[in-house]
Homo-oligomer: A and B are copies of this chain.
Amino acid sequence: MKHVSETAQRLNIRQIADLAGVSIATVSRVLNGRGDVSEETRELVSRVIRENGYTANRSARGLSAGRTGLVGVLVPLVFPAYFSGILAGAAEALSERDFQIVLSPTGGEHEREVSIVDRLHGLTDGALIILPEESSEELERLLDSGFRFVVLDPLMPLEERIPSVSAAHTSGADQAMKHLLDLGHRRVGQITGPRGWVATEDRRRGYRAALAAAGILPDPTLEQEAEPEIDPGRAAAEQLLDLPERPTAIFAFNDNIAIGAIQAARARGIRVPEELSIVGFDDIEHATIVTPALTTVRQPLAEMGRTAVSLLMRLLEGQRFETLHVELATRLVVRDSTAPPPHG
């Protein structure tokens, strides 16, 4: 009686070839849908493959063919809340194309001196880099080293050659401000994100442009800066609300900061939106469950993910591009945190 091996051995292309009575070259051709195989043989081999549940060893394929079917996704270790939206879009687009995702958290304290290249080069075919902390120079070096990638939502201004996908910050901010101004607000405070970020500067530009269009001079005391989290947002909002002549509306850099602002208002007994209107940015899930539900500028997160993937795919195919930068439209979602100003 034959002994049954404890763990079924995974079979390889050689065994499939023997089973089908063909060469391994032919099996490989069937596997990859290449030509030079008769219809008859193709079906025979396909059947054997199916019946035995065979799949090619991906390491071997990667070694031999140079492409691994893997795409890296680099993301800050502490996920920004809106990351899951991007990931969902990217994941869907990638799995449609039969790619797998290698998720690589960056910025952890355990992080060795190994760079992106070291971790992903030779493992993945390319990468999506979300909110990179790397400078434009570092990314250029990466590009020059032959690694293909697309940057999503760059923090810093990027050199022309670096492919990137982002949202229309300026126009989003402009829409948000127009909404507030249309409601009749004249003293609108702003809580910006960290200085130097592309998103911060672009949204600030939208804020100023809308004010200017309404003939309102920007008041520097109405601008605060905060890290894009709830607590810093609350602190910044407190500054604005404690002003001798406080604003009737606040445009926040993102939803987290806006939620902090709601908390600050509540702590002072200031009613939102009756006495204070608040607008956020991003439209993360939190925006819908907070009270009052947040009026905010929606970023098309899933679409950003999908777009980045399709850009990357074309890059991998070696296509050259006229434009490497894609900016996706944003749109205002009006909920319950905005209303006309008091006595007005």
Q: Which residues of A contact B (CB under 8 A)?
A: 7-10, 53, 55-63, 68, 70, 73, 77-79, 81, 84, 88, 91-92, 95-96, 100-105, 108, 110-111, 114-115, 117-119, 121-123, 144-146, 230, 259, 285-286, 289-291
How far is the CB of A272 from the nearest CB of chain B, in Å?
A: 11
Structural contact, A96 and B118, CB atoms closer than 8 A: no
User: For A62, what are the chain B residues with a Cβ–Cβ distance below 8 Å?
Assistant: 58-59, 62
Structural contact, A8 and B102, CB atoms closer than 8 A: no
Nearest neighbor of A141 in chain B, beta-carbon distance: B8
Given A55-B119, A58-B62, 11 other A-B residues pairs in contact with their CB atoms under 8 A: A7-B146, A9-B146, A55-B117, A55-B122, A62-B62, A77-B92, A78-B88, A96-B110, A100-B102, A101-B104, A259-B289
Provided the pairs A91-B103, A92-B110, A286-B289 are in contact, do residues A122 and B79 lie with their beta carbons within 8 angstroms?
Answer: no
Structural contact, A122 and B88, CB atoms closer than 8 A: no
Structural contact, B101 and A8, CB atoms closer than 8 A: no
Structural contact, B68 and A79, CB atoms closer than 8 A: no
- Expressed in whole angstroms, the Cα–Cα distance for A3 and B73 within the complex equals 34
Structural contact, A121 and B291, CB atoms closer than 8 A: no
